[in-house]
Chains A and B, each alone.
Chain A
Amino acid sequence: MTWLVPLPVTIPLLGAALTLMLAGRPRAQRTISLTALTATLLVSAALLALTTTGGPLVVAVGGWAAPLGIVLVADELAALMLVVSAAVTVCVLIYSIGQGMADGHEETPLSVYHPTYLVLTAGVTNAFLAGDLFNLFVGFEILLVASYVLLTLGGTENRIRAGATYVVVSLLSSVIFLTAIGLIYAATGTLNMAQLAGRLDTLPDHLKLVLQGMLLLAFGIKAAVFPLSSWLPDSYPTAPAPVTAVFAGLLTKVGVYAIIRTETLLFPGGRATVVLLVAALLTMLVGILGAVAQSDIKRLLSFTLVSHIGYLLFGVGLTSRLGMSSAIFYVVHHITVQTTLFLAAGLIEKRGGSTALDRLGGLARLNPVLAIAFLIPALNLAGIPPFSGFIGKLGLIEAGVADGGPLAWLLVVGSVLTSLLTLYAIARVWNLAFWRAPHPSMPAPDAGRCPPMMVVPTLALVTLGVALTVVAGPLFEVGDQAAGDLRDRAGYAQAVLGEETP
């Protein structure tokens, strides 16, 4: 069944080509992109089912065998990420179609929307499946180029300003990544990750630390880890709501995914874990303090996004199996919840005419469905008990306690504090935007009506977020198994390179 592996990359790319050819026909475009992404979702689900039972699937692209050619590797972690990201992209696509129809501008800028969106998906899936460092770089470039276009869609002054920062920062991280690739190739003579796992071990420690540091720096910028995170709250909120939602859900997580691969497959253990843990703590605290200061919902959510990247790093930095599996569970939870919240913010903007907290009020009475669509994922994000955010945080805290070191304890305290501050930040949004009397500048009920095509996908994602609690047991098991696979580097090398392991 290895023929399934390249499909999550090729289907969206094919869809992008078709939608580009049908540029003037929005109805056909919509049908094609919806079909392509649904197919991607189905293939990803099949891949997850296959990898949980039968181990990693490997495809040598073009029939060139592993160390020479490029390989695509679908192991459990990659398959799980594929399923979640595909589910999120489908929901956001439906939402954006609904928004496009409601806003009534179906002409020029939207004809590039569908192809670019599909290319973005292809970039994300390619990065997840890459078994080769250079292919990972190409995957990053594909998704970044698509994201530049999506972020500056329409070319208004505000978006150009935000886009300039975003593009330059992303380009810089790409340059650092490429430099690291060049140095790694010079040091080891290969870029195949399975082969690298063996060869990097033989390098001297200080050289390994330099290479690891460069990779972590590049991925840290992409994942918005604290000292490298200030570009994110600056650029994301200006984009259209569905674009921000998909960026928030997926792009930073691709960076985290790359960090997980670097830390497990290429450079396990080592001194960099201390740096990761400190960065995790600072990301959590600085991010959430930033969120508390904001007065715009989208910016506030961007800061919580940065803050909760810290939880993921916490799990990765612990290097224990429990830490890793909790981090994997948390990634799934966070992709779903953060996307839902940004979609809900889009609905708030539609109904209330703005996302500035001082120009909103009374939304809970005006639109109870919207209130539910915001409140449930918000409580989920803060980690209120029945929801998946609580389970993920509990797992991470348990792993921290099990680790027992002073830094781990500090992180346990920090994560509880962050969780409380998250609750405070979203309670502020709730008080100001959903309670109080409606603000006079808000549009009349018919002008601010939310079309069902926007509400339904949001509610679908809310349900998915809640469903994560129900399937938490099996999901944690999948995460645990994936964490086990990640720690088993020889198994990965064996699967990719066949019998002649290095």
Chain B
Amino acid sequence: MTPNLVYVVVIGVLFAAGVSMLLERSLTRVLMGMILLGNGVNLLILLGSRAGAPPIVGGAPQAEMADPLPQIMILTAIVITLGMTAFLLALAYRSWAMSGHDEVQDDMEDRRIMLLAERDEGSGTDDTEEQS
């Protein structure tokens, strides 16, 4: 299909919203971001395919048929995203049950080694702080 502006803008907004949600601390928001990103990708795959009549033999001449392959890929991607959403939800719930909140925490070991490095006690001063 020729890319139309509405699709392109919608995909852009979905990706932008997804990425900004992904950068949050709370796992629930990260999950929302993941879902938005997944939908953005699905639309992007659809955008790259040919639109047309249903791809059923005898229904329409072959040249007018839609390309079924991207739709199959999107279906597979939706199934995978669904499973992942369920898993992330379970993870967020478990995190809430264990610690009372669902925020992604810093790694304790990282902090300890950074402290050692600041006091110049560790045997090296490499950066490992960019974990979220």
Contact = CB atoms under 8 A, between A and B. Distances in A.
Interface of A: 134, 138, 141, 145, 148, 152, 155-157, 160-165, 167-168, 171-172, 174-175, 178-179, 181-183, 185-187, 191, 230-231, 233-234, 237, 286, 289-290, 292-296, 299, 428
Given A230-B130, A299-B109, A185 B91 contact: no
A27 to B, nearest CB: 29
Contacts of A183: 44, 48
Interface of B: 22, 27, 30, 34, 37-38, 41, 44-45, 47-49, 69-70, 73, 76-77, 80, 83-84, 87-88, 91-92, 94-95, 98-99, 104-105, 107, 109-110, 113, 116-117, 122-126, 128, 130-132
A289 B126 contact: yes
Nearest to B27: A164
B41 A234 contact: no
B contacts with A: majority SS: helix
A293 B122 contact: yes
B128 A428 contact: no
A491 B100 CA distance: 58
A179 B132 CA distance: 23
A155 B90 CA distance: 10
B77 A155 contact: no
Given A155-B98, A234-B107, 18 more contacts: A152-B91, A152-B94, A157-B99, A164-B27, A167-B91, A168-B88, A171-B88, A182-B48, A185-B45, A185-B49, A185-B69, A186-B49, A191-B69, A292-B126, A293-B113, A293-B122, A293-B123, A299-B109
Given A145-B83, A172-B22, A290 B109 contact: no
Given A161-B95, A161-B104, A234-B131, A182 B70 contact: yes
A179 B124 contact: no
A168 B34 contact: yes
Contacts of B48: 182-183, 185-187
11 contacts: A161-B95, A162-B107, A163-B91, A167-B88, A168-B88, A172-B22, A175-B37, A178-B77, A181-B73, A234-B107, A290-B126
B95 A233 contact: no
A155 B94 contact: yes
Contact of B104 (A164, A179, A230, A428): A164
A65 to B, nearest CB: 15
Contacts of A293: 113, 117, 122-126, 128
Contact of B76 (A138, A145, A155, A289): A138
Given A157-B99, A289-B124, A164 B91 contact: yes
A160 B122 CA distance: 28
